Amino acid sequence: MQTLQLLISGVAQGMIYALVAFGYNITFATSKTLNFSLGNFLMLGGVVGFVLYMTWGWPFFGALAAVVLVGSVGGAVLLKVAVEPSLKQRSAYGWILATLAVGIVLRNAAEVFWSTDDFKFRSPLGDSPWRFFGERQADGSMSGGLGVYPQEVLIILVSLAIVAAVELFKRRTVFGKAVVAVSEDKDTASLMGINQRFVILFSFMLSTSIACVGGVLVAPVTLVSATMGTVLGVKAYSASIIGGLESGFGAVVGGLFLGVSESLTARFVSTGYKDVPGFVVLVLLLLFKPSGLFGKAAVRKV
Amino acid sequence: MSALVPSGKQRASLVGRLLPLLLVLPLLLPRVVDNSYYVGMLSRIVVYAMLVASLDLVVGYIGDVSIGHAGLFAIGAYTVAVLTASPALNTDAYSTIQHWPQLPFLVALVPAVAFAAFAGFLLGFPALRSSGPYLAVITIVYGLIIYTFINEQEGLTNGTKGITLTPLHLGGLKLSGINYLYVVYPMLLLVLFIVHNVTHSFWGRAFEAIKYSAVAAECCGISRSYFKVSAFVLSAALAGLAGGFFAQLDSYVAPNTFAYSFSVEFLIALIFGGVRSVAGNVVGAALVVVLPDLFSGFADYRLMVYGSVLLVMLYFVPEGVVGLVRRGWARLRPHDNAAEHARLERASAGLDVLASPHATSAEAALKLEGLEMKFGGLVAVRGLDLEVPRGAVRGLIGPNGSGKSTTVNVLTGLYTPTHGRQYSFGRDLAPLKTYQRARAGIARTFQNLQLFADLTVLENVMVGLHPSFRASLFEVAFRFPRARREEAEARVRAYALLRFVGLEQAAFDKARNLAYGQARHLEIARALALSPKLLLLDEPAAGLTSGEIQTINGLIVRIKATGVSILLIEHHMDMVMAICDDVSVLDFGKKIAEGTPRRIQEDPVVVEAYLGTHKTSSVVA
Amino acid sequence: MAEPLLSIEELVVDYGRIRALKGISLSVAQGELVAVIGSNGAGKTTMMKTISGLLKPTSGRVVFEGKPLTGVSAHQVVKLGVAQVPEGRRVFASQSVRDNLLLGAFVRLRAGKKREVAEDTERMLGVFPRLRERLDQLAGTLSGGEQQMLAIARALLSRPKLLLLDEPSMGLAPVIIDEVFALIEQLKAARDTTLLLVEQLAFRALEVADRAYVIEQGTIKLAGSAKELLANPSVQHAYLGAAATH
C-alpha cells in the first residue's frame, strides 16, 4: 500500500518533469536551442500563482489564467532578449549562456522582489488526502488504506491533458502541422507560406506557459520558493533527453521514469541520493544513444 | 599574440619593461597595507583566477560550455580538506569522519590534483560524443553528482557541517590569513605561466582547431580524441589545484559553496574578463570578489547583476573586458606588423618548402580497388577502381551527387568504406585513422572551406605543421628551449608556405577576414604544410573568378613540379582539362569513363551523364 | 509587347563570401516554360532561392507582375503567387502525404478556402494516382520519384501563377526522370501556370522549354529559343569546357 502511494507520488512528480521536458522539446524542435531558463519559468508560475491565489485571494482559475498570460509574455521576452540576439551572433553557443543568464536573473528577481522563504500553497482541491480501501470510522471518515492527495491526481490529469492537447493540435490542425513543418525544415516551410519567425515565437510562448502552469500544479505538493525551479529544470533535461528531444510522448516516458525512480530511491535508499538514478541514466544515454529512447538519430554529413 | 609574453622587438615596449615590476608588486602588499581584509580579498582573487584560467581551457579554447567546474574545484578542495584536517578542530559532537590521515598540505595537493584530473578524464568521454547543449547538460549533472556526493557522504566529508582545516604553518611562521598570499600568488603565476605557454603553442592551436573545425583538425594530423580529453584533464587538474588552495583560504570547506550557481558565476566571470586571455581570467576573478564588496547588501542582488552583466557582455562586448581594452589600445597605438614581416621574410629566404617528397616505393600514389561506400540503403560509390600514378595530376569529375566528395572523404578516413581496398604508395590505408593518414602524407582541401576562422592566416598554416612538432607537453608548458625552437622554426616555415601561395602579406590577418579567393589559397597552403606526398583537392576553384582560377592553375602546376601527386575534383572543366594528365568520370557512384581530357570531352557517355539524353540533335564531337 | 511575368535585373547575390550570382538578367513571359541550364555550382539554385525570398540579393531586382519581389520575405512570396519545388524535393518526411499536400495549400487554407482546396486536392490526386494510394503514408517512406511528384503537387496546390522547379531530375533514375519530364510537359500544355525550370541535364530541359538561358559561374553565357540552343555546340562547351588540347 505504501509502495502504491509512493508510486502515485512518483508519477505525479514525474508528470511535472514531463511538462518541463515537453517545454524543452517544443522550443528545441522549432529553434534548435535548449532553454536553460525553463525551470525558472516553472518557478515564476508557482510564485505568481501563489501571490495571486494565496496572498491576494484571487479565485483559482483567475490566478491560473493570469499565470498563463505571464508565462506567454515571458516567453516572448525571453526569445527577443536572449535567444534571437545570440542566434544572430557568431558564437555557436551564445544562446546557452543567454538563456542561463535569464534563468538566474528570474530566480534572483523572485528572491529580491518577492521573498527568499518557502511558502505553503494550498491546493484548490483541499490538502487532505482522499482515502481508499481503509477502515471506515464512526464519524464517516476513513483512515488507513491508500491515501492519495487530490493535487497529485490533478497534476497527473492536467499534465496529460496538456500534452495530449498539444500533440492533437500538432497532428490535427493546419497550424499545428505548420509548426511540425518548421521543426523539420524551416526554409521549405517558408516556401509553403508559413511564417517561421511567428512559429518560433509561438513555440516559445507555449513552452514557457506550460512550464508556468507546471509551477502552479506542483506548488501545493512541494513548497513555493524562489529556488524551486533550478534543480527541477536540470532534472527535466534528463527526462527530455531520455525521451528524445523531439518527442512529446518521449517526454512523458522520461518524466515518469525520473519521478518514479526518485520516489523509490528516496524511500529505499536515501533521500539525498534520490536524484542519482536519473542522472546516471542521462549520462549513459548521452554516451550511447544521444538521440534518446524515442528520438531520431541525426545523420551527420560532411 | 598576447601582450603578456612579448616577443623580440616588443621587449623594448613599455609594458614589457614594466611587467617584471608589476608581477612582484602584489607580494609587497601585505607589508605595505596592514589590512588583512583587503589582502584576504587579493588572495581570494588569486585562487579564483586559477579556477577561471582552468575553465578557459575548456570554454575558450576547446569551445565547450562547462557549467560543472564547481565539481572539479570541490574535488580538489575536499581531497585536501579530508587528507589534512585533524579531529582536534572538528570536535563537533556530530562529526562523523572516522579516519583522519592528517597529511601535510603539500602532500595532500598531489592526490587532490590527481583525483580532479581523473574526474576530468571521465568527463572527456561524454565530451567526445556530445557537444553544445547536450554536453552543457552533462557538465551540470556532473557538478550536481559531485555536490550530492559531498553533501551526503557524511562519513567521508562531514556532510553539511563542513570540515575545518588546520591553518598552515612553516616552521614557526603562520602561513594562513595575511601571509597566505605568499603561498598562492607564486602558484598563480606558475599556473598562468603554464596555461599561457600551452595555449600559445601547437597544443593551444590544436585545441582551437578542434573548436573551429574538428574535421579539418583531424586532416591536419590532430587526434581529436587525444587533444579534447587532454584539455579536459588539464583543465580539471588545474581546477583541482585551485580547489586545494581554496580549502586553506578560509581554512574551512562546506558543500554549499560548490553548488550549481557557483559554476554559473565562474562561467560569467570568464566571459566578463575575456576568454583566451590570462589577464582576462584575473579580471574575471576580480569581478566575482570585488563586486560583492563594493555594494553592501549586494549579496542579495548578486545573481541578478551577474545575469545582466552576462547578457550585456554577450551582446555588446563578447570579447570581454580585456578584449575591449586591447581594441582600444590598438586604436590608440596601431600595432605595426611590418617588423615581424621583415624578420620572417629574412628568415625564410630560400627556404624550400616543398622538397621533393621521397616516396618509399615506386608504387602509385593512390590505388583504389573495388571501393564501395553505402549509407544505409544508398550506395554513394560502387566498385570504384582508381589510380593516381606517382607525380601525376588526376582529375575526378562527374555531375552533382556522383560520389566525388564521398570518395575524398573515404580517402581521408572520415568514412569507412563498406567494401574495397585503398593503398597509397603500396601502404594499406584501411587501419589508419584520419589524423594518421594526414601524418602519413595525405593532405586535402575542402569543398566548403574549413578554415580556423579566428586564428591568423599564419596560425592556420601552423596547424598544418602540427605533426612536425616533437616537444612534449611538459617542455611546452615550461618553455623549454626545444619547444621554443620548434615554434620559431614553424613560424618561419609557415611564412615560407604562405609566400609559396602568395599570401604572405596577409599573414597576421584573421582567416575569417580573407577574401574568398585568398581563403582558398590558404587551405592549399595549410595542406602543403603537411609535406604531403598525395594532395587531394576538393573543388579548389569553387566560386572563384576566371582570373583567380588562372592563379590556382599556376599554383597547382608549381606544386606538381615538386613531385607531389594530386587528385583534383572539380566542376570547372576548363581547369580540369588544362592541368590534368588523366581524368576519371563518375556518375551515380560508378566510373563511366577514363582517359585524357580530350577523349573524355568527346565521349558520348560522359556527355549524356552531364547533359542528359537527347532525342533530336546529335552530340557535337 | 506584354510585360513579362517575372523579370530579373542585374541580380548580384553573395552566398557567404562567394559571389554566387554576378549580375544576371532574364525574363519569363506569361504561359512560357523557360529553362535555366548550367553545370553544378553555376548559381542556379542560388537564383531560385533569391526569387523565393530565402536569400537576399546584394544588388539588382526581381520583379513579379510589375511589382518588386526583392525584399519580400519568403512566406509572403507564396502569397503573391510564386511557388517553388525545391532542389532535392524537400518533402516533410515525418508527415503524411495528405499533410504535405495540405501544407502546400497553407496560404489558401488560412484564407478560408477549404472547399476549393479540397476540390483541387481531389483533382491533383487524379493526376497523381500513386499519391492517392499512399495518402496516409509518411512522406519520408516514398521513393525518390514519388517524392518528386508529391513536391510538385504540393507546390501546385497553392495555385501559383509562377512555378519554380529546381533541378527536378536530381538523384532520380533515368526512367523516373522520363516520368517527371512528361509531367512537366503536361503542365506546360495546360497553360495554367508559367514555369521556370532550372536543370543540370541540359538536353532534357531544352526539349521541354520554350526559351532557355545557359548560366556558368554566376553569369548568363547564352540565351535563346530552346531549339536554337539545342543545336548550339557552345552549350556542351559550357558544361565540359572548351576543347581540350591533350
CB contact under 8 A, C95 and A180: yes
Tell me, what's the pLDDT at B12? 44
What pTM was estimated for this model as a whole? Answer: 0.90
Q: How many CA atoms lie within 13 A of B498 on its CB side?
A: 27
Residue C78 at interface with chain A, using a CB cutoff of 8 Å: yes
In DSSP notation, chain A reads -HHHHHHHHHHHHHHHHHHHHHHHHHHHHHHS---TTHHHHHHHHHHHHHIIIIIS---HHHHHHHHHHHHHHHHHHHIIIIIHHHHHSS-TTHHHHHHHHHHHHHHHHHHHHT-SS-B----TT-SSPEEESSEE-TTS-EESSEEE-HHHHHHHHHHHHHHHHHHHHHHHSHHHHHHHHHHH-HHHHHHTT--HHHHHHHHHHHHHHHHHHHHHHHTTTS-B-TTTTHHHHHHHHHHHHHH-TT-HHHHHHHHHHHHHHHHHHHHHT-GGGTTHHHHHHHHHHHHH-TTTTTSPPPPP--
CA B528 to chain centre: 20
The pLDDT > 70 percentage for chain C reads 98
Alpha-carbon gap: B596 to the closest alpha carbon of chain C (Å): 7
Q: Is A196 on the interface with C (CB under 8 A)?
A: yes
* Interface test mutation site (partner B, options A31, A95, A104, A276, max chain B beta carbons within 10 A): A104
Q: Pick from B129, B264, B375: which is nearest to A100 by CB?
A: B264
Model pLDDT for residues B226-256, shown as the tens digit of each residue: 999 999 999 999 999 999 999 999 899 999 9
Whether residue C106 lies within 8 A of chain A, CB to CB, comes out as: yes
A290 touches chain B (CB under 8 A): yes
Asked if B283 and B273 count as a contact pair (C-beta separation under 8 A), the reply is yes
Tell me the chain C residues in contact with residue B620 when contact means C-beta distances shorter than 8 Å: 233, 236
Q: Which residues of A touch B266 (CB under 8 A)?
A: none
Residue A42 forms part of a structural domain: yes
Amino acid at A179: V
Q: Domain count of chain A?
A: 1
Give residue limits of the domains in chain C: 1-80+212-246, 88-198
Residue B482: what pLDDT? 95
Cell of B266: 565562474
Q: What's the whole-number mean pLDDT along residues B145-174?
A: 84
The beta-carbon neighbor of C75 closest among A177, A185, A193 is A193
C131-167 pLDDT, tens digit each? 999 999 999 999 888 999 999 999 999 999 999 999 9
Q: Which of C54, C109, C155 sits opposite A174 (nearest CB)?
A: C109
CATH of C88-198, one of 3.40.30.10, 3.40.710.10, 3.40.50.300, 3.40.190.10: 3.40.50.300
ipTM: 0.91
The neighbouring-strand residues paired with A147 are: A131
Using pLDDT thresholds of 50, 70 and 90, give the confidence band for residue B138.
Answer: confident
Is the CB of C201 less than 8 angstroms away from the CB of B612? Answer: yes
**Chain C contacts of B574, Cβ < 8 Å?**
241-242
Mutation site, B400, B611, B613, interface C, largest C CB count within 10 A: B611
Residue-level pLDDT at B617:
41
A253-287 pLDDT tens trace: 989 999 999 998 888 887 778 888 888 888 787 77
Interface touch B141/A234, C-beta < 8 Å:
yes
Residue B619 and residue C245: Cβ atoms within 8 Å? no
Which triple of cell numbers denotes residue B369?
580497388
B73-98 tens-digit pLDDT: 999 999 999 998 888 777 764 556 66
Between these two residues, A291 and B589, which has the higher pLDDT value? B589
The answer to which of A9-13, B451-455, B608-612 has the lowest mean pLDDT is: B608-612
Grade residue B210 by pLDDT with cuts at 50, 70 and 90: very high
A89 closest CB neighbour out of B260, B264, B318: B318
**Most confident segment among B205-209, B567-571, C112-116:** B205-209
Chain C residue numbers with beta carbons less than 8 Å from the beta carbon of B515 are 17
Q: How far is CA A32 from the centre of its chain?
A: 18
- The pLDDT of residue A298 is 45
Contacts of A177 in chain C (CB under 8 A): 95, 99, 102-103
Summarize the confidence of residues B128-152 as an average pLDDT: 88
Name chain A contacts of B307, Cβ cutoff 8 Å.
101-105, 108
Residue B26 · residue B180 · CB < 8 Å = no
Chain A residues whose beta carbon lies within 8 Å of the beta carbon of residue C79: 193
Which chain C residues touch B509 with a CB distance below 8 Å? none
Q: Does C94 touch chain A (CB under 8 A)?
A: yes
Most confident of B175-189, B554-568, C31-45: B554-568
What 3-state DSSP class applies to C224? strand
**Residue B137 pLDDT > 50, yes or no?**
yes
At B47, the pLDDT band (50, 70, 90 cuts) reads very high
For residue B294, name the pLDDT band (cuts at 50, 70, 90). confident
Q: State whether residue A262 sits within 8 Å of chain B by CB.
A: no
- Least-confidence region, from B157-171, B187-201, B238-252, B582-596: B157-171
Q: Which residues of A113-137 are buried (b: 16+ CB within 10 A; e: fewer)?
A: ebeeeebebebbeeeebebeeeeee
Residue B24 DSSP label: H
> C218 CA to chain B: closest CA distance, Å?
9
Do the domain assignments include residue A286? no
Q: State the best of C106, C108, C152 to mutate against chain A, taking most chain A CBs within 10 Å.
A: C106
Q: Which CATH architecture has domain C1-80+212-246?
A: 3-Layer(aba) Sandwich (3.40)
Distance CA B155, CA B161 (A): 12
In this predicted structure, what is the pLDDT of residue B619?
A: 42
* Spatial CB neighbours of C109, under 8 Å, sequence gap ≥ 6: A174, C102, C117
* Mean pLDDT value across chain C: 90
**Residue B621 — pLDDT band, cuts 50, 70, 90?**
very low
Same fold: C1-80+212-246 with C88-198: yes
**Which residues form the domain of A81?**
2-134+146-228
Residue type, B46: V
> pLDDT class for B39, splitting at 50, 70, 90?
confident
- Whether B319 shows a pLDDT value over 80: the answer reads yes
Mark yes or no for CB contact A94/B314 under 8 Å: yes
Q: How confident is the model at residue B11 (pLDDT cuts 50, 70, 90)?
A: very low
Q: Is residue A125 part of a domain?
A: yes
Helix (H) or strand (E) holding C205: helix C202-208
Q: Say how many C-beta atoms besides its own lie within 10 A of residue B36's C-beta.
A: 14
Check residue B191 and give its pLDDT: 95
- In the predicted model, is pLDDT for residue C1 greater than 70? no
Residue B402 Cα, gap to closest chain C Cα (Å): 9
Q: What is the mean pLDDT of residues A47-55?
A: 92
Q: Does the pLDDT value for residue B6 go beyond 50? A: no
C154 → chain A, closest CA residue: A192
C neighbours by CB contacts (3+ pairs under 8 Å): A, B
Q: Cβ contacts (< 8 Å) between B310 and chain A: which residues?
A: 97-98, 100-101
pLDDT at residue number A293:
62
Average pLDDT, chain B: 88
| A82-141 per-position pLDDT tens digit | 998 888 877 777 889 899 999 989 999 998 888 888 888 888 888 888 887 777 777 767
Ranking A276-290, B412-426, B496-510, C54-68 by mean pLDDT, the lowest is A276-290
pLDDT for residue B608: 85
How many Cβ pairs closer than 8 A exist between chain B and C? Answer: 95
> Over the stretch C200-243, which tens digit does the pLDDT of each residue have?
888 889 999 999 999 988 899 899 999 999 888 888 877 777 76
- Chain B residue closest in CA terms to C171: B401
Residue A157 inside a domain? The answer is yes
Task: Give the residue on C whose Cα is nearest the Cα of A185.
Answer: C92
Its sign, for the CA torsion A74, A75, A77, A81, is positive
C110 contacts in chain A (CB < 8 Å): 174, 193
In this predicted structure, what is the pLDDT of residue C225? 93
Query: In chain A, which among 166-185 make CB contacts under 8 A with chain C?
Result: 174, 177-178, 180-181, 184-185
Q: Set out the domains of chain B in order of their start, with CATH numbers.
A: 35-258 (no CATH), 366-611 (3.40.50.300)
Q: Chain C residue with minimal CA distance to B598?
A: C244
The answer to whether residue A233 is domain-embedded is no
Neighboring chain C residues of B610 at a CB cutoff of 8 Å: 39, 200-202, 239-240
Shortest distance, CA A91 to any CA of chain C (angstroms): 16
CB pair distance less than 8 Å for A92 and B132: yes
* Residue pLDDT, tens place only, B347-386: 888 887 776 656 556 788 899 999 999 988 788 899 999 9
Residues of chain B positioned with their CB less than 8 A from the CB of C17: 449, 515-516, 519, 543
Residue A198 has pLDDT above 60, yes or no: yes
Facing B126 at nearest CB: one of A96, A108, A286: A286
Summarize the confidence of residues A26-48 as an average pLDDT.
Answer: 93
Q: Is C121 on the interface with A (CB under 8 A)?
A: no
Cβ contact C246–B596 (<8 Å): yes
Q: Do B134 and A286 touch (CB under 8 A)?
A: yes
Residue A266 lies in a domain: no
pLDDT band at B5 (very low <50, low <70, confident <90, very high): very low
Interchain contact, B573 vs C201, CB within 8 Å: no
pLDDT at B13 over 70: no
The CA–CA distances, whole Å, from C198 to B529, C21, C64 equal 41, 15, 18
pLDDT in the model for residue A302: 31
Domain assignment present for residue A291? The answer is no
Give residue C47's pLDDT.
Answer: 95
Q: Of A68-72, B161-165, B372-376, give the range with the top mean pLDDT.
A: A68-72
Shortest CB distance from C170 goes to which of B400, B449, B620? B400
Residue A188 has pLDDT above 90, yes or no: yes
Interface test with C, best of B405, B573, B587 (most C CBs within 10 A): B573
What distance in Å separates the CA atoms of residue B596 and residue B578, rounded to the nearest whole number?
Answer: 11
Instruction: Compare B544 and A39 and report the one with higher pLDDT.
Output: A39
pLDDT at residue C168 is higher than 80: yes
Cell triple for A269: 535508499
The answer to whether C54 and A187 are in contact (CB under 8 A) is: yes
pLDDT tens-place string over residues B323-339: 999 889 888 887 788 88
Higher-confidence position of B488 and A270 = B488
Percent of chain C scored above 90 by pLDDT?
A: 67
Contacts of B409 in chain A (CB under 8 A): 302
